[in-house]
Amino acid sequence: MNSSRENWGSKLGVILAVAGSAVGLGNFLRFPVQAATNGGGTFIIPYIIAFLVLGIPLSWVEWTFGRYAGILRHGTSPGAYDRIIGKPWGKYLGSLGLLPPLLIIFYYVFVESWILAFTWYSLTGKLSEVVQAGQITEFFGGFISLKEMAGPIPAAILFFVITFVCNMALISFGVRKGIERVNKISMPILFIMGIILVVRVLTLPGIGEGLAFMWNPDFSALAEPTVWLAAAGQVFFTMSLGMGIVFCYASYTRRNEDIVLSSLSAGAANGFAEIILGGTIVIPLAVIVIGANIEECAKLGTFGLAFQSMPLVFGQIPFGGIFMTLWFAMLFIAGLTSAISIIQPLISFCEDDLKFSRRKSVATIGTISFIGGIVAIAGLAAGAVDELDFWGGSFLLVLLGTIEAIIFSLILGRKKSETNPNESEAMALLNEGAIIKLPKIFRYIILYVCPAGLIALLVAWILHDGLDILLLRNIASDATVEFLGCTLSQKAFVIGFRLFLVACVGFVNLAIWYAWKSGRATGRLDKIKTVRIGRSEEDA
């Protein structure tokens, strides 16, 4: 039974781990398309404003919650909310912090495995042959629909199993020897690969034309509310906020160690990957090499751009095979570091609240995510991944982020600190051990502007994008899908799949009920309850 928690080995380790979690496909594929279709260079203005009033403040909120939870030897929101809210329903509200990692991991490992497969195919030259034969679209379609074989089994399944085992093996080493070590090695490699690709792109003839699509400003776009919504959404999703990841990672920081600068540094590293690497590679390359226009790029979406357009692009430049391998290897590192960060909150819940050993936690989460992964693969063509991405990767993030900002502002922000009577509990925890003190203006932004901004973002996002999906208005009434060899109405499939998601919500809440009922989470078993926020763990 665990009575002590791990800590990060170094400040750089936790910064790279948080940055590794944030840097993903969205930096390299979503950002450039969002920028190019929302005012070009002008997009950076609402992007920076959103970064300052939503991104960084919410990141500080999550780091503070993480520190609070870590002192109580929890790593996820049920434990923290139970104590902060002080009501029995607090822990069930905290279940919202476990749902995004659970739902995202069901499909993320599958997508990560596509990247590993395409890295392998690039390395062996197979992808170059496919591109030269003009069959990349068919090849990608065949791969994800399990028609491409590797011996007797579908290649997609083989790579899924390899990726799954790889993720679980790394996470089984723990926070310091697993997550921290992986990020310390792989993140510098990712940045070096990205810089090599940027240099290659910037030295291509006619690059000005490609950069024009990304950076020429259209000032009229600033009058469009959708541009501001897109910028706020991009900042929110790119920084891994509202997913319980930053919260969980921050819970492993030592008491009296800076979190203000660490959070800002992770955000800055993510911004580098997004603005400099993401803003330079994909769109300029697609425009100048294959003559794609922005509408085409946007229509292809994240996966189309990554797995169809980019191999085509690299197939047409000198030494394209090498750069294609670099591209997919860079994406795989981004995917791997993000995947282990998505798994860790679930492992933390098992270890800290259910008091499982790490091995038992990895086995439990491994089994659940493998079963969920198989469901996602089976339902890919029917829209299962779209549903998981909508609920786990979009809706719940904005909802949880908004709830976090409100709880921080209304409860933790009004509670007097036990260690510093002149400060609120929230600000005392945030500033404890800070290398740079939080500028005063950000206190107001965190406590008032950020929650108001997030409520506005949630409402605007539901009205603009979410409502049609929530009410199934985006599905034609006569649309049909194939699932497990049966043809059925798409609406029926989506309703059935949402019932499966409701069952997942029930399962998570049942686990929380058991953790508290049995006394495992509250410390009745090992006197964790004696730890107070005003005193260090060591004092207690």
For residues 37 and 295, give the distance between their C-alpha atoms in angstroms, rounded to a whole number: 8
Question: Between residues 209 and 418, which has the closer beta carbon with respect to another protein?
Answer: 209
Nearest Cα neighbor of 533 from 23, 151, 89, 80 is 80
CB of 213 to another protein, least distance (A): 7
Question: Are 294 and 34 contacting, i.e. CB atoms less than 8 angstroms apart?
Answer: no
Number of residues that bind another protein (CB under 8 A): 30
Question: Between residues 41 and 154, which has the closer beta carbon with respect to another protein?
Answer: 41
Residue-by-residue DSSP string for 433-470: T-SSPPPHHHHHIIIIIHHHHHHHHHHHHIIIIIHHHH
211 part of the interface to another protein, by CB under 8 A: yes
Binders in 419-438 for another protein, by CB under 8 A: 435-436
CB of 308 to another protein, least distance (A): 23
44 part of the interface to another protein, by CB under 8 A: yes
Among 13, 24, 32, 40, binds another protein (CB under 8 A): 40
For residues 6 and 18, give the distance between their C-alpha atoms in angstroms, rounded to a whole number: 16
Give the interface segment with another protein, choosing from 110-118, 172-180, 206-214, 319-327 (CB under 8 A). Answer: 206-214
CB of 451 to another protein, least distance (A): 25
CB of 521 to another protein, least distance (A): 34
Binders in 258-287 for another protein, by CB under 8 A: 261-262, 264-265, 268-269, 271-272, 275-276, 279
DSSP tag of 349: I
215 part of the interface to another protein, by CB under 8 A: yes
CB of 180 to another protein, least distance (A): 15
Instruction: State the Cα torsion 135-140-145-150 to the nearest 10°.
Output: 90
Question: Between residues 43 and 349, which has the closer beta carbon with respect to another protein?
Answer: 43
148 Rama class: left (phi>0) / alpha (psi -120 to 50) / beta? beta
For residues 307 and 297, give the distance between their C-alpha atoms in angstroms, rounded to a whole number: 12
Among 2, 5, 9, 48, binds another protein (CB under 8 A): 48
Binders in 10-29 for another protein, by CB under 8 A: 11-12, 15
Question: Between residues 195 and 488, which has the closer beta carbon with respect to another protein?
Answer: 195
Question: Token pair for residue 382?
Answer: 């029917």
Among 13, 20, 41, 320, binds another protein (CB under 8 A): 41
Question: Between residues 10 and 518, which has the closer beta carbon with respect to another protein?
Answer: 10
Among 23, 84, 214, 285, binds another protein (CB under 8 A): 214
Place of tokens 């029926």: 492
Question: Between residues 193 and 385, which has the closer beta carbon with respect to another protein?
Answer: 193
User: Could you tell me how far CA 445 lies from the centroid of its own chain?
Assistant: 24
- Give the angle 236-237-240 at the CA atoms, nearest 5°: 95
Residue-by-residue DSSP string for 83-143: HHH-SHHHHHHGGGGTHHHHHHHHHHHHHHHHHHHHHHHHHHTHHHHHHHTT-HHHHHHHH
Q: What is the contact mask toward another protein in residues 130 to 169, using x (rule: CB under 8 A)? A: ----------------------------------------
Question: Are 32 and 239 contacting, i.e. CB atoms less than 8 angstroms apart?
Answer: no
Question: Between residues 261 and 290, which has the closer beta carbon with respect to another protein?
Answer: 261
Specify the 3-state DSSP secondary structure of 488. Answer: strand
CB of 209 to another protein, least distance (A): 6
Question: Token pair for residue 331?
Answer: 């994406």
Using CB under 8 A as the criterion, which residues of the chain lie in contact with another protein when the complex forms? Answer: 11-12, 15, 40-42, 44, 48, 208-209, 211-217, 261-262, 264-265, 268-269, 271-272, 275-276, 279, 435-436
